[in-house]
């Protein structure tokens, strides 16, 4: 729609929560999707997209807030792209997430479901993340009321999160409620130090500037890991900054840096250099200690991850004599968590560094019945692989959002393990995959798990048994 064609719809009552964190209403027989609203809100909406079957828009005026609304706890609410459901009571968030799972499994997969086990809510709904990444920007996002002509110099510098939909826009964050201290203290200290010492912030469009990103990882025992990403090497400036951080925050037990001269922010293919302390930090689940390196994948909500894996363990119903395949194993967390209940664990993961971590985790914990392999799942999981590693009795699947490849589904149907447990961060792709697997399997249990309070994201665990 051209700017001159912008239409404002008045007094629109929001009816329900929709996918991807949106809310919806109906206008003249069409569905209208609106972000950052909750059922019961009456709003004026400016259209941003108009199609034959639906419309999209943004709120320009809150006529009457819903009686369901609660006061958001974060000063950045409404601008920051995260925690969009802060205004919705947590019990209702859980209801909507469970309904989302049911809708997607039945409408997309057309699946026959047993009674759904109530969603497992997070015990902590603030400060629950163990990892956050922040971006430096020399041209931060300006807030409503700020005059671009009046905001100059250091006032334009930001260290925070990307604005949703804008690759080059970063919102300066003063306090984030996602990660416990010293996360905010470290970020604010580094920003202040950088400004005081004239260190340049990165320009995402021009690809210039010195400071690019910083990552804070925390462990349940209080250990802290910090990774600072620089655009180029400046030994004197880098050393001075890292020494200042090390002196200010003795709780940082693992301090690293990366030199990233690429056009993207990914550090997965770059050397992460230890500057001070340990190579890694550790997190513990029951009697298993997991190594977390600078580039390790680990569930970002540690306490809820333990409860998620406990659901997987219950659904797997291991007796001790089974061969368990843990597909998309990451750093082996689920497989190792279940290893004491299985005869043998076989894990496959695309990322080699993750498999290296899995092997180290197995060795560090004295687990000798677990074997891990790196490679593309559709290429690794073959009849020959199964012949060499043993027929799986039980398979655990925890794929990325896209779900499993059709070739993987085919091999699983041919292998026909007695039971499978499918863990998904995207119930829509899970529904599609389950429809394929339903050729030989029936669903015996379903339990959603909330890993990310105040967002629309939901994990879902499904137990399958051979018909």
| Boundaries of every domain in the chain | 3-69, 92-124+301-466, 131-285
Strand partners, 58: 46
pLDDT at 1 over 80: no
Which residues belong to the active site? Answer: 425
79-103 as b/e: b if 16+ CB within 10 A:
ebbbbbbbbbebeebbebbbebbbe
pLDDT digits (tens, 9 = 90+) for 73-84: 999 998 998 898
CATH number of 131-285: 2.40.50.1070
292, two tokens: 């977390």
Q: Does 3 score more than 80 pLDDT?
A: no
pLDDT above 90: residue 297: no
pLDDT exceeds cutoff 80 at 134? yes
**pLDDT for 2 beyond 70:** no
Q: Does this chain's domain 92-124+301-466 share its CATH topology with 131-285? A: no
- Tens of pLDDT, residues 183-216: 999 999 999 999 999 999 999 999 999 999 999 9
Residue 6 has pLDDT above 90, yes or no: no
Q: What local confidence, expressed as pLDDT, does residue 146 receive?
A: 93
- Cα dihedral across residues 113, 116, 117, 122: positive or negative: positive
Question: Mean pLDDT across the stretch 377-388?
Answer: 96
Helix (H, G, I), strand (E, B) or coil at 296: coil
- When the pLDDT of each residue in the chain is averaged and rounded to a whole number, the result is 95
Mapping DSSP onto H, E and C, the string for 424-467 reads ECCHHHHHHHHHHHCCCEEEEEEEEECCCCCCCCCEEEEEEEEC
pLDDT tens digits for range 416-458: 999 999 999 999 999 999 999 999 999 999 999 999 999 999 9
Residue 354 has pLDDT above 60, yes or no: yes
Answer whether residue 348 shows pLDDT above 70.
Answer: yes
Tokens standing for 320? 């001790």
CB-CB contact of 89 with 68 (8 Å): yes
Instruction: Tell me 204's DSSP state.
Output: T
Asked if residue 164 has pLDDT above 90, the reply is no
- Looking at the predicted structure, is the pLDDT value of residue 5 above 90? no
Burial class of 176 by CB neighbour count within 10 A (0 to 12, 13 to 18, 19+): buried
Using an 8 Å Cβ cutoff, are 227 and 256 in contact? yes
What's the topology of domain 3-69?
Answer: OB fold (Dihydrolipoamide Acetyltransferase, E2P) (2.40.50)
8 A C-beta contact, residue 193 and residue 244: yes
Task: Report yes or no: 309 and 384 within 8 Å, Cβ to Cβ.
Answer: no
Q: Which fold has domain 92-124+301-466?
A: Rossmann fold (3.40.50)
pTM reported for the whole predicted model? 0.93
Q: What is the DSSP string of 42-109?
A: EEEEEEEEE-SSEEEEEEEEEEE--TT----S-TTTTTSSS-TTTTS-HHHHHHHHHHHHHHHHHHTS
């Amino acid at each position: 729609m051209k700017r001159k064609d912008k239409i404002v719809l008045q007094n629109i009552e929001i009816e329900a929560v929709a996918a991807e964190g949106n809310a919806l209403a109906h206008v003249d027989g069409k569905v209208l999707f609106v972000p950052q609203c909750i059922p019961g809100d009456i709003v004026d909406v400016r259209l941003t997209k108009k199609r034959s079957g639906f419309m999209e828009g943004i709120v320009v005026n809150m006529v009457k807030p819903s009686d369901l609304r609660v006061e958001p706890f974060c000063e950045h609410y409404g601008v920051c792209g995260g925690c969009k459901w802060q205004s919705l009571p947590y019990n209702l968030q859980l209801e909507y997430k469970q309904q989302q799972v049911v809708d997607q499994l039945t409408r997309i997969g057309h699946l026959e479901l047993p009674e759904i086990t109530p969603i497992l809510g997070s015990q902590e709904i603030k400060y629950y993340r163990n990892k956050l990444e922040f971006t430096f920007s020399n041209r931060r996002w300006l807030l409503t009321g700020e005059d671009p002509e009046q905001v100059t110099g250091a006032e334009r510098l930001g260290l925070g999160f990307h604005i949703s939909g804008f690759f080059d826009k970063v919102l300066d964050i003063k306090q984030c409620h996602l990660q416990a201290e010293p996360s905010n203290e470290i970020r604010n200290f580094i920003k202040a130090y950088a400004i005081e010492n004239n260190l340049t912030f990165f320009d995402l469009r021009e690809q210039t500037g010195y400071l690019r990103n910083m990552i804070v990882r925390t462990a349940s025992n209080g250990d802290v890991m910090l990774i600072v990403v620089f655009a180029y090497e400046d030994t004197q400036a880098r050393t001075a900054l890292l020494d200042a951080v090390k002196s200010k925050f003795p709780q940082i037990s693992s301090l690293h840096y990366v030199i990233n001269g690429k056009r993207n922010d990914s550090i997965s293919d770059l050397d992460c250099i230890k500057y001070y302390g340990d190579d890694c930090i550790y997190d513990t689940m029951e009697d298993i200690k997991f190594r977390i390196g600078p580039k390790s994948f680990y569930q970002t909500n540690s306490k809820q991850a333990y409860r998620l894996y406990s659901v997987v363990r219950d659904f797997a119903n291991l007796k001790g004599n089974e061969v368990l395949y843990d597909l998309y194993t990451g750093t082996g967390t689920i497989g190792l968590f279940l290893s004491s209940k299985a005869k043998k664990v076989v894990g496959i993961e695309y990322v080699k560094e993750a498999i290296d971590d899995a092997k180290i985790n197995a060795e560090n914990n004295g687990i000798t019945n677990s074997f891990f392999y790196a490679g593309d799942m559709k290429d690794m999981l073959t009849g020959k692989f199964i012949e060499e590693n043993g027929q799986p009795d039980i398979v655990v699947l925890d794929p990325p959002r896209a779900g499993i490849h059709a070739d993987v589904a085919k091999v699983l149907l041919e292998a026909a393990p007695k039971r499978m447990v499918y863990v998904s961060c995207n119930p829509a792709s899970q529904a599609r995959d389950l429809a394929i697997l339903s050729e030989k399997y029936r669903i015996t249990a379903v339990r959603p798990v909330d890993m990310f309070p105040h967002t629309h994201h939901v994990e879902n665990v499904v137990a399958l048994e051979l018909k």
